[in-house]
Amino acid sequence: MRLPRRPRDGHLLALDLAAALLVVTVYVHFAGLPGSAAQPAYTGPVWAGALVAATVGLPVAARRRWPVPASLTALAGAVAAALLDITREPCLALGLTLYAVALTEVPRRSVPVLAAALTVSAAAVLTGEAVVTPTEPWGGAVGIATTVWLVLGTGWASGFAVRARRAREADRAARRAERAVVDERLRIARELHDIVSHSLSLIAVKAGVAVHVAQRRPEEAVDALRVIERTSRAAMTEMRRTLGALRADPSGTAEAPLGPVPGVESLPLLAEQARQTGVAVELSVRVPEEGLSPGISLAVHRIVQESLTNVVKHAAPARCRVTVEADPREVRIDVTDDGRRGGRGPVGGNGSAGGHGLLGMRERAMTHGGTFSAGPRPEGGFAVSARLPQDRTRRTA
């Protein structure tokens, strides 16, 4: 996999240009030095020495844009410098370009470039040192070639290590983004399920009442239709709010959410809606005066909403008690009823049994590091219990 190149910062290009000019200057200086016992003098024309210096150094300035051509050009200049006695250690500039090759190219392309650089540079050093103008025995020439290999290999290995680290970072970022998408899909599914399930359950119950009493007690049928109308409008408003939140963006140019996010203050309305379907709801809410955090408050609302929806669907007519208590440490939610339910198995901490509503309540509780359980009561009826820590302490559900 070829990694996308990062945006090229101007200061990095400036540093490369400065390094390239420094290398050119040093090699031009080498070309003008008198000879010594360890290094013969360059005897060619001045322009040729300057050309070799430019061929060795200038590719460093282009290594981030064209790493492979820059490395091959620097290699050609290094070979010429070794054979023309400008210097016998033409490796630093080539090592810098090999770093860029390993950083930006896949191994199947960067490894052949490294192999070519190691082979050709070693051959040039050995030829110049021991054949063209011998100044060292073969052992000394091999030592110089080994030093060249060490510098070139270090440059390539450094680039490869940075490339591997960036690949791991990109993989972790991709996994985080994928997980965020999955979490958001689950959150949206829970919101829509809670809204639609609760509203449609109330509508279905009141529609059934209207059908049965339409002939004998038309005034009760009218009352049922009024409840259906109010419930439908409330559901539409909440759906618009949820969809508006999904369409909103940070720039503020998209549609904004409509209405406040439901919370603990909306629990009396949920209880009243359940009462209209024949469920006698006893509601007890005890929370601090400063209230709960928005996330916890929404979770409490949704858990109570889904619990009452299940009572309406599976236990009505029944008596139901809803208790919400909060202290600085946690919020406790308990919903119990005395009705009978068909096809409702117990659900423990893993929430493996039951429908999507129970699973959604469990997921909401675990999102906040809490616990959740639901199941039949020994004395009859059903019980739902959730604990949401307010201090963000994670507990095993």
pLDDT in tens, 229-258: 777 777 776 666 666 655 555 444 444 444
Burial of 303-315, coded b for 16+ CB within 10 Å and e otherwise, reads bbbbbbbbbbbbb
In this structure, are residues 148 and 124 in contact, taking their beta carbons and an 8 Å threshold? no
The whole-number pLDDT of residue 136 equals 65
Higher-pLDDT residue of 10 and 352 is: 10
Distances (CA, A) of 371 to 55, 357, 368: 69, 16, 9
Closest CA to 266 of 246, 285, 242: 285
- At 261 the pLDDT is 67
Cα distance between the two ends of the chain: 40
Q: What is the pLDDT of residues 365-388, one digit of tens each?
A: 888 889 999 999 888 889 999 999
Q: What is the mean pLDDT of residues 49-66?
A: 85
Highest mean pLDDT among 8-12, 33-37, 295-299: 295-299
pLDDT at 240: 66
Instruction: Tell whether the model's pLDDT for residue 396 goes beyond 70.
Output: no
Q: What is the pLDDT of residue 321?
A: 93
- What is the percentage of the chain residues whose pLDDT exceeds 90? 10
What's residue 369's pLDDT? Answer: 85
Domain ranges of the chain: 10-175, 263-397
Strand positions, DSSP E, the chain:
279-286, 318-326, 330-337, 371-376, 382-389
Instruction: Between 69 and 345, name the one with better pLDDT.
Output: 69
Specify the pLDDT at position 25.
84
Q: Does the predicted model carry a pTM greater than 0.85? A: no
Determine the pLDDT at residue 242: 64
Question: Is residue 344 predicted with pLDDT exceeding 60?
Answer: no
The pLDDT of residue 54: 85
- Residue-wise pLDDT tens digits, 98-127: 888 888 888 888 899 988 888 888 888 777
Q: Which CATH number applies to 263-397? A: 3.30.565.10
Question: 133-137, 151-155, 160-164, 182-186: which has the minimum mean pLDDT?
Answer: 133-137
Residues 6+ apart with CB under 8 A from 270: 198, 301, 304, 305, 308
Q: What is the mean pLDDT of the chain?
A: 78
Q: Are 304 and 323 in contact (CB under 8 A)?
A: no
Whether 323 shows a pLDDT value over 90: the answer reads yes
